[in-house]
Amino acid sequence: MPSLKEVRNRISSTIGTQQITSAMKMVSASKLRKAQDAIIAMRPFSQKLDDILKNLLKSESSSIGEFGKARNPDKVTLIILTSNRGLCGGFNSSVIKAANNMITAKYAEQAKKGNVNVVCIGKKGTDFFRKTKIKILASRNEVWDKLTYSQAAEIMEDVIKKYLAGEIDRVEIIYNRFKNAATQLLSAEQILPFENTAVKNAGEAKTARNDSSAGNKRADIDFIFEPDKELIIKELIPYSLKVRLFRSLLDSFAAEHGARMTAMHKATDNAQELLRSLRLTYNKARQAAITKEILEIVGGAEAIKN
């Protein structure tokens, strides 16, 4: 059985740890509320922008130029969103593991040639890939200090320039999507080449139009585009990519605080359970020490009598 001093020290350190985890939980809960409001407000705008692009690209004649041109993915860039700090459960490890699996499985041939590089947004991802042979194209850990659209636009602008210059053939983004405070969904999305799903499924759409019932109230409308439909599409696609990255950043930011709040809540509960166990051990040790002292006193008294 440990000594009373050892148990007291452990109780003291556990109480200190519990106070820290409880404080971190409250801080994350406060930040989560703001981050949750931001991503909830952002999603309708992002969805509407996607709908506009789908409507513009619904005809087979629509062209998205180099953004949608099929390429052999010889040179691949992964945008990896992690946090700058830990103590958030498996938030960072899940993203890093998914990125590493993608490199070793999906892009194994490109990785052997040294044609896979990463854009790390978050210190945890940067620290991991610095220890590997994968080239870090950019490291933007300062983004999380003050998350703004201009930062996302700057990062995506640089990626788009390299893509149009032929330095990159494919771009994928890996991050945690926010669902609720206790649940984060790991997501991996290809953002370049830009996939024109409406054109890809044009045959299905044409069949659906031909088979539509007379009761369908919505009809195809011919819009007048000014200055030009193709020019509008070429302007909207880069903007859509920047918005998508910003939305992913907001998702990851909210998911991080949700994961940290959940992890700190569990840590606080575990500390409480440990304290109960330690106090029980302390009381047993104290009782044993008192019993030993009483026995020694009684033994001494008996020895004096004899």
pLDDT in tens, 164-212: 898 999 999 999 999 988 889 999 999 988 865 443 443 443 444 444 4
53 part of a folded domain: yes
278 part of a folded domain: no
* CATH code of the domain in which 236 resides: 3.40.1380.10
Is 134:103 a contact under the CB 8 Å cutoff? yes
140 part of a folded domain: yes
288 part of a folded domain: no
pTM: 0.81
91 part of a folded domain: yes
Residue 64, pLDDT above cutoff 70: no
Is 120:100 a contact under the CB 8 Å cutoff? no
46 part of a folded domain: yes
Contacts by residues 3-6 (CB-CB < 8 Å, ≥ 24 positions apart)? 3/285, 4/282, 4/285, 4/286, 4/289
Residue range 245-292, pLDDT digits in tens = 999 999 999 999 999 999 999 999 999 999 999 999 888 888 888 888
Which one of the listed residues 88, 111, 119, 159 is annotated catalytic?
Answer: 88
Torsions phi, psi of 239, nearest 5?
A: -65, -40
- Where in the sequence is the domain holding 79, given as residue range(s)? 25-201+224-261
What is the rounded average pLDDT of the residues 92-120? 93
C-alpha of 92 from chain center:
7
Q: Tell me how many domains the chain contains.
A: 1
More confident position, 216 or 85? 85
Whose tokens are 């290809």? That residue is 190
73 part of a folded domain: yes
Pairing of strands 116-121, 183-192: unpaired
Residue 95 tokens read as 């993203």
120 flagged as catalytic: no
Residue 59, pLDDT above cutoff 80: no
Residues 6+ apart with CB under 8 A from 251: 39, 175, 176, 177, 178, 187
279 part of a folded domain: no
